[in-house]
Amino acid sequence: MESILLEKTGQVARITLNRPDKLNCFDGAMALALQEVLDQCQDDANVRAVYLTGAGRAFCAGQDLQALLGADAPSFDTILGDYFNPIIERIRALEAPVVGAVNGVAAGAGANLALACDIAVAAESAGFIQAFSKIGLVPDSGGTFHLPRLIGMQKAAALMMLGEKVGAPEAAAMGMIYRTFPDGEFADASFQLAERLSQLPTRALAMTKRLLNDGVKNDLHQQLQLEEKLQVEAGQTNDFREGVDAFLEKRKPEFKGH
């Protein structure tokens, strides 16, 4: 059974974490397979949105803890340097927006994988656990970068130190994720979000993502300069012309993504 599935529906790439009997926790092969499909998404001009979800009842339980045992267990350097970090960096660098569709529990690196997505949404019964402290580790996979920026230092510290589970509605209320959907509607509603994104002006969304990425390290002057540069670029796209034409003609725009 493939541990990562990639299917294309229209211009959406659906990536499924697929080890449901182990709550989609990652071993090395699965991490490398996810890197590979993220590269395929980046290289395919026809992919205008990415949808990342888990098979079965969980989103992802982080690192496969069983794979840490035995003589051929990977070192922690390898697990982070070769497996998880390149996944997080690929998601942040991917030009197409990534929807993290958290269908069930997201724990450890699995929770932080969801937080690295551009728009994370969750089923109402899903939950997030910064499980690291429970096993004597520190948060990784970008969690200490993304979580305090999303919910503030105090709450991030409490969640990361206590390792308590946060239910999806509470996660949405504190700004950790964009929103929840009722369980019965989750699969369709979250996928529709990715479909909507795939019909928007893709170049402008990619530049928006770059602005948000760079905004955390730039000062105001640098950020204003970058906004100006990218707005000039956005203003040269066909989608900008189409957006203005459609507005003036009082019709729905048909964005082509360039």
**Which residues of this protein are in contact with ligand LHQ, per CB under 6 A?**
22-23, 25, 61-66, 68, 76, 79-80, 105, 107-109, 129, 131-132, 135, 137, 140
Instruction: Collect all residues with Cβ–Cβ distance below 8 Å to 208 and sequence separation of at least 6.
Output: none
Residue 89 in tokens: 């960096």
What does the buried/exposed string (b/e) look like for 125-160 if buried means 16 or more CB atoms within 10 Å of the residue's CB?
bbbbbbbbeeeeeebbbbbbbbbbebbeeebbeebb
Instruction: Collect all residues with Cβ–Cβ distance below 8 Å to 194 and sequence separation of at least 6.
Output: 12, 14, 49, 50, 51, 99, 101
| Residue 95 or 164 with smaller CB distance to ligand LHQ | 164
| Residue 42 or 125 with smaller CB distance to ligand LHQ | 125
| Closest CB 235 distance from ligand LHQ, rounded Å | 43
> What is the spatial distance between Cα 193 and Cα 223, in angstroms, rounded to a whole number?
28
| C-beta separation of 235 from 228 below 8 A | no
| Closest CB 95 distance from ligand LHQ, rounded Å | 27
| Residue 135 or 173 with smaller CB distance to ligand LHQ | 135
Q: Which residues share a beta bridge with 15? A: 6, 52
| Closest CB 60 distance from ligand LHQ, rounded Å | 9
> What is the spatial distance between Cα 12 and Cα 119, in angstroms, rounded to a whole number?
14
| Residue 258 Cα to chain centre, angstroms | 23
| Residue 144 or 223 with smaller CB distance to ligand LHQ | 144
| Residue 65 or 157 with smaller CB distance to ligand LHQ | 65
| Residue 156 or 194 with smaller CB distance to ligand LHQ | 156
| Closest CB 250 distance from ligand LHQ, rounded Å | 50
| Residue 76 or 247 with smaller CB distance to ligand LHQ | 76
How many CB atoms lie under 10 A from the CB of residue 250? 6
User: ∠ at Cα 81 (106, 131), nearest 5°?
Assistant: 25
| Closest CB 221 distance from ligand LHQ, rounded Å | 38
| Closest CB 3 distance from ligand LHQ, rounded Å | 13
| Closest CB 71 distance from ligand LHQ, rounded Å | 16
